[in-house]
Structure 1
Amino acid sequence: MDTGNRTFSPIVELRRYTLHPGQRETLITLFDREFIETQEAVGIDVIGQFRDLEAPDQFVWLRGFPDLEARTDSLRAFYGGPVWQAHRGAANATMIDSDDVLLLRPAHPGSGFRLSRDRPAPGGEAGGIIVATTWHLRPEAEGGFPEVFKTVLAPMLRDAGVPVLASFVSEHGENGFPALPVREDAHVFVWFSRFPDRRAFERHAAVPEALQPRLARPPEVALLSPTARSRLRG
C-alpha cells in the first residue's frame, strides 16, 4: 500500500455549513458514504471533513483542485452527475446555509497540505483536533502578509510548539461555477494546525501582538474534530 505524502492542492475551498439542529450526524453519514469517492472520481481532492467542536450545528470541510479551470469542470461534472442528483434532496434538507465558502490558494510554494494518499476506511475513529485560524486582513496588508507569516510569525509559532500544517490566502480569480457562491470580498490568511486535545490548543491560543495592526476584524478560530473518513486528521 502506498502511504507516501503529496501536496493537496493549488486551489482549496474552505466550506462551512450551518445545519438544522440535530442534523450534523445525518449529513456526515451521507457525506462519508456517498460524496467522497464520487467527487474524487471527477478530479476533486476531498481533503477533510469535520465537526466544529464549539458549534454543534456546523459542518466544515475542505476540498481542492489543480486550478480554477479544473475546478469549474469538476464541479459541473459532480453536481450534474447521478450521485449528487440522487442524494441532493437529502443533503440539502440538513442545511440552513451552505454559502460560507472561502476560495483559497497556498500562501507560498509548498505551504499546501501534505497528506497521505490513503483514506481511512469506514468505521474507524479519528482523534485529536485540527485548528483552522482565519485572519481577516486589511486589504492593503494582504499582498505582503504571506512573507510576514513565513519569516516572522511561523517561526514564533514553531518556537511555541505550534505546528503549522498549511497556510493559504484568498484566491481572487473568477468563480467559474456561480451556482456555488464564494465570499468574493474576502481578504484572508488561513492557517491550519494540529493539537492532541483542547487543553493543548488553549495553551497557545493568543493572537501575536505584532499581527493586530494588520487585521480588519477579530480572527475566526475553529476547533475541528475530523470525521472517521477525513484524510486530514488530528
Structure 2
Amino acid sequence: MGRCRRPVRRRTRRLDPHPPHPNRKHPLMFYEIRRYQVQPGRRDEWVRYMAEAIIPFQVSKGVSVTATFITDDDPDGYVWIRRFDDEAQRIALNAAVYDSERWTSQLGLQCEQFLIPEQATLTRVIPVSDAGLAGIEKAMGLG
C-alpha cells in the first residue's frame, strides 16, 4: 500500500503499418497517457497537488512529464503524459519514484485521497513521426 493503484494498462496499436525508419533516433520511445478520475469536486485541488508536488518529484527522479490536461467534458477528469526512451528506462524510473520513501510515506498516500483508482487508465502510444509531440507542435507553428 502507500502507492496509488497503478492504472489499468491499455495498449494501443501503432497507426502506421510500416516499421520505424532505420535512422530513427529512439526506435523504442513511447508515451504513457494516464487518465485519472478525481474524487467529485476535488479536481482543482488535484491540479495544484500535481503541479506543486507530484510532477516536480517525478521530474527530480528523471521522469519526462510532457503535458497535463483537464478534461473538457468531465469536471473531475485529469490527463497527463509521460515520455520514456524505452521500456528499461520506464521500469527504472518507476522504481525510483514509486519505491522511494517519500512516495510510500507521503505522496502516494495523498494520491489515494484524491483519486478513484479503479477508474484510472494508462495507454501507451508510439509516435508515428520521428519528431514526436515536439515536432508536431513545431510543424503547426506552436513550438
TM-score (norm 1): 0.44
Whichever residue aligns with residue 28 of structure 1, its letter is V
CA deviation vs aligned residue, 1:18-43 (integer Å, no higher than 9, x gap): 12111111211111111122212222
Question: Larger helix proportion, structure 1 or 2?
Answer: 2
Residue 99 (structure 1) shift:
3.3
Aligned mates of 1:194, 1:44 — CA distance in 2: 26
Q: Which has the higher contact order (CA 8 A, sep 6+)?
A: 2
Distance in 1, Cα, partners of 2:98 & 2:45:
20
- Identity of paired residues, percent? 23
Letter in 2 for 1:66: D
Larger radius of gyration: 1
Contact 1:49 1:62 in 2 (8 A): yes
Structure 1 residue 194, shift from structure 2 partner: 9.8
The 5 Å alignment of 1:167-178 reads: none
Correspondence 1:71 to 2:90: yes
CA distance in 2, matches of 1:63, 1:194: 23
Pairing partner for 2:126 from 100, 105, 117 = 105
User: What corresponds to 1:82 in structure 2?
Assistant: 101
Alignment of 1:1-234 (within 5 A): 10-85=29-104, 86-97=106-117, 99-110=120-131, 112-114=132-134, 164-165=136-137
Aligned length: 114
Decide whether the 8 Å contact of 1:34 with 1:83 is kept in 2: no
Q: Is the 8 A contact 2:35 2:79 kept in 1?
A: yes
Gaps of 5+ in 1: 1-6, 116-163, 167-192, 196-231
Unaligned runs of 5+ in 2: 1-25
C-alpha RMSD over aligned residues:
2.8
Retained in 1: the 8 A contact 2:37–2:120?
no
- Native 8 Å contact 1:14 1:101 kept in 2: yes
Distance 1:108 1:44 in 2: 22
Could you say which structure has the higher strand fraction? Answer: 1
